[in-house]
Chains A and B, each alone.
Chain A
Amino acid sequence: MNAAFRIPGAGRLSQAKTASFSFDDKSYTGIDGDTLASALLANGVHLVGRSFKYHRPRGFLSAGAEEPNALVQIVRDDARKTPNVRATVQELYDGLTARSQNRWPSLAFDVGAVNDLASPMFSAGFYYKTFMWPKSAWKNLYEPQIRSAAGLGVSPDRPDPDHYAARYAHCDVLVLGGGAAGIAAALAAAETGVRVILADEQAEFGGSLRFESGARIDGENGFAWAQAAIARLKAMDNVRVLSRTTAFGYYAQNFVGLVERVSDHLKNPGKELARERLWQVRAKRVVLATGAIERHMVFANNDRPGVMLASAARTYLNHYGVAVGRNVGVYTANDSAYAAAIDLKKAGVNIAAIVDLRDNPSGAVIDEARGLGIEINFGRAVVSAGGKLRVSSMTVQPKNGGGGRTIPVDAILMSAGWTPSVHLFSQSRGKVAFNEETRRFVPGTHAQDCVSVGACNGTDGLDATVDEAYAAGAKAAKEAGGKDSSVKAGKGAKPKVDAGESWSRGMLGAAPGAGPGTTVKAFVDFQNDVTAKDIRQAVHEGMHSIEHVKRFTTNGMATDQGKTSNMHGLAIAAEVLDKPIPQVGLTTFRAPYTPVTFGSIVGHARGALFDPTRRTATHGWASAHGAVFEDVGQWKRAWYFPKAGEDMHAAVNRECVTVRKTAGLFDASTLGKIEVVGPDAAKFMELLYTNPWEKLEPGRCRYGIMLREDGFIYDDGVVGRLAQDRFHVTTTTGGAPRVMHHMEDYLQTEFPHLNVWLTSITEQWAVIAVQGPKSREIIAPLVEGIDMSDEAMPHMSVREGKICGVPTRLFRMSFTGERGFEVNVPADYGEAVWEALWAEGQKHGATAYGTETMHVLRAEKGYIIVGQDTDGTVTPNDAALDWAVGKKKTDFVGIRGMMRADLVAKGRKQLVGLKTTDPKVVLEEGAQIVEDPKQAIPMKMIGHVTSSYWSQNCGRSIALALVAGGRDRMGQTLYVPMPNGTIEVEVTGMVFVDEKGERLNG
């Protein structure tokens, strides 16, 4: 079945393969190769959307990526509902389902269109003026209303089921844009043998050769030449050709982001294919061949469906074989619209009239149009388009005023001229320059190793374009290291342009009838509903910088980023300001060139691949024994081990009591571990930790504190001296990488004279803490070569030997206050040794315990956790750790910072214990502490709770807190005001269990 507006014999698509699709639940038929736009137009459908602010009916403005109006929702299934898809870019596939957006209840009757009638309320900057007061209305009225009315399209509400690929690529010459210029540049570069990537956003290469019927290159029709050249490039090993690939961002050092649409055009993409592929390309040279974008004419009701760019109508005809109307008017300020009129006329479409603003233009296309019998009106303007859901007429007047007439039409083609696409050039930080003669911004000073060729460089004419591009491609290749290609007749030779089209000039700003003093809706920016009047109003209200005009009116701020509107907006502002255009300036072009999906940016980094997961050697055992895990950075740590019927509270209480009664096993493998080795190892330790190390005997351990140069606690951990020249340093779990970085920094840059090597051994050693009165009995039967008696191996010592036949570094140390050991074994043996220890432990009634119990037990002893009980502003003295600072030392990192006046002042927050008056009440960590609960709000806060737990061993709650002058407040009553009432607490020491420390040998 042939659609009504498909012209037999026109276009390049084969009618053989049809594709059925639906738009707003109505079924249509298109053909293979159509875009959604061309297929709808073939069926006579122009009305496809409603505008953002005024809900005005909208159709297709363009046939490409610059489209501001024809945004639709493409629905594949419940999860795949992509909003804001440009119908001019979306390729048709059989079964495609599209819906219009921003309308209710229907596209033809949209209640929101009342905004159009009420438009005086919605003039430029209305957001800033209308919703100012009363203040309370923001929360209850304005914000909810604006949020529900704002936005285009509806976001999908399910996780994206598609996957997205990512590639890095390097090349010598990257050519962006696959029209005549890009192809010529790629051919020249490819011949030299360098690595070339050629990318174009469209499905087929050719750029404007798609519609330029007059172009002939190497004896062929221009589009056919382009396809043959692409086939040749694809066959070359050194060339990668990417279609459907948009260069969206140009970053530093010729780093360009491309996004390739892999499967959005397929009916059944299948699961293997990614939806999109992100290319991050580093190129030695970049050739920008991004073409130019046609501008619309700014006149009243220029947004009516059926009013479109002349080049778009020509593309629909010459490529897709679709007539955009049967009786078409043309409104132009340059030559290029004539070519569209001529092509349509030849295809049998009536051209009602050409209206040309220019007074007496002349040229071949004008003669040809006249020769075809088309009515041409010079020096006249279209002052208004008639019709609502579709354009029905155009009103034509002499441009200086005077009587008009109304001509019935069903489409208006317009062309105000062409804007070079300098977006990527500008993103590369190149500076654009305004050409007064042609009144356009073209690339000026380059900031990177790139070159602009063809229309985006302001080069007019196919011949000149191909010349320039071919030379630039060859030069770029040579600069990138290609061999000289002063070739060549035959295949690699420069393409010969037999015939081409050329046009430039045109107009910027509002056309007659939409000038100063008028109130008509002559749209500058279709997507954000910005009119010529809005721009003038912004200037009148004091916005004199183009950046302010842009933000006040939102001109150019929609998803199309002002591709068609920026130059018009600028010209109107310049006219009101009475300044030359370059003095008003151009707004900054920013990435992305066209919208990029979050999916393509995220790529594989989602779900389980979002962040690495680190598991310890005993993870499998812990899972099998019912552990509940918690995330600690990237680590999964066993949190607690509930038995049947136990909740967390019950499990932790049992674990805490069992450790102090008999023993417990705990996986401490996540602690950071660094081996400090070398003749100067002790000297290095002296400089990096507050403690003295030189005299620590091999085989002994010490609790070390690391400061930053500012004197605040940075990390802590037990350090074992294995030999004169070897320390086994442990760090906090979260601190491991930064401590290593900190140590390396000092070793490499401040103390390079020290002969020391640092090695991260966190992952090499599994650590099994065995704590409790029975700990030695559990370990001893498995150990060889270590005397574990108290005399031979006192608290805070380390021995090397074997356990279960494998090497161990056996530490006697305690983070529970009980007799304790930490069994280090090579990580591969971690699970086996754990199982052996567990089997021994079972004989004594030991428990496995997790991080929660570890936290409670250490808090019962007042052992701090750096990062929980300290916050980067806590000195050793604040944390009651003065004893760990070497008094006789003359240097260590932080020694000077610690002496600063504020750090030794009275009244600093100090770490103390808190006991609630009601022992059953457990404080909230982070809760603020005050002296007088009756004072007025805001109260003076003197500290906060850092750690707080229920302690089954103490039969009450316990807490640690940082309190101003805390150690002078022992026994004082303080208060913790909470939403449900104030909690009374008593300041105590930090040790709640075994104050004398006798259990370490118990």
Chain B
Amino acid sequence: MPTIARPRTFDERSAGIGARTGLLKIDPVTAFAGIGLIVCSIVALGFTTQSEIAGDPYFFTIRQSIYAVIGIALMFALARIDYSRFRELRVGIYSAMIFTIVLVLFLGFAALGARRWIELPFFQFQPSELGKLLLVLALAGFAIDRARRQTAWQRTARLLLLGFVPALIVFVQPDLGTALVYGVITLAILFISGTPWQHFAALGGIALAAVAIVLLLAPAVGHPVLHGYQLDRLTSFLNPSDDPADSSYQTNQALTAIGSGGKTGRGEDATQVQNHFLPEAHTDFMFSAIAERWGFMGAALVLSLYALLIWRALRITTLSKNLYGSLVGAGIASMLLFQVFVNVGMNVGLMPVTGVPLPLVSYGGTSVLVTFMAIGVLQSIYVQSQLSSPGSLRTAL
């Protein structure tokens, strides 16, 4: 939607060039949290992955730094665009998302195995990661779209269906973690867009029935829906010391890594990571690697930056100049919150192992770029709210 020309406020005039480019209007706290997290990630990768690839001690560090630079640039670029345009493009965005995740599914079939990425010259592009942001942008648009023409039940059902389709596709890839993220995004947008409480109650009932079917009935009749390892992962965290060699091995090693970090960390003696006892220490279990090396201090710093980021995301949700912005903001906030909680929860043994990356901290090109793009969209919502507010009545805090 095009921005409507309006008289400049006093603030803008005094801000000069910064105001015209929109750069000075971004939310400094949000930018600080995002950049702070990626700096934590680069520093942590630099210390913990030196022995990962023989002969190339800074393989992950250098790549993550490159992703960071590109990601930050994307964040600033998106901050300058009026996010409301995405609402008009919702059908295209949604189709692009479905197309790319279906494409990767077929490439995976062609390669006779699970594949979640498309090989690009410089990195592996993971469409399902980008899909998280695309789903937020599209679904928020659809949520408003449907508002005046349907009954409440129809509207809820359609939104659910629109969210359920991509979730099902990535679940088949198989990528359970991302499917859950899509589900949470859908629920969050439904929730913030005002879906009646009784709809959620009905959904809860259906969900309970589905879980019962997936976990109890389907295996009993010989058609298990979850892969064996997925089921193991989902249940093993409940009693991690049962079978140290199996699926809860990761949880056990992560708990040992985190616990042994103590208050201030083990520094150079961080054997859990150095000896590779902790698997996936630079991706899914990066949090444990940080917690082992820098202890409670390091882990708490990272968590605080996330708390800051999510608080700002919720705040921007309320500052938005229109409903679309609020829904997008809430979708992004829930997406970040869910990923942080599931990943850190998995590291500390509160949640099952599901392969959800820790945004900006886990090593991974697509995840870093998409998270920065999401932050860029938040910035755009913030910038637009500042531009449309008369004077400086609606300030950042």
Decide whether A and B assemble into one complex. Answer: no
Chain B interface residues toward A at CB < 8 A: none
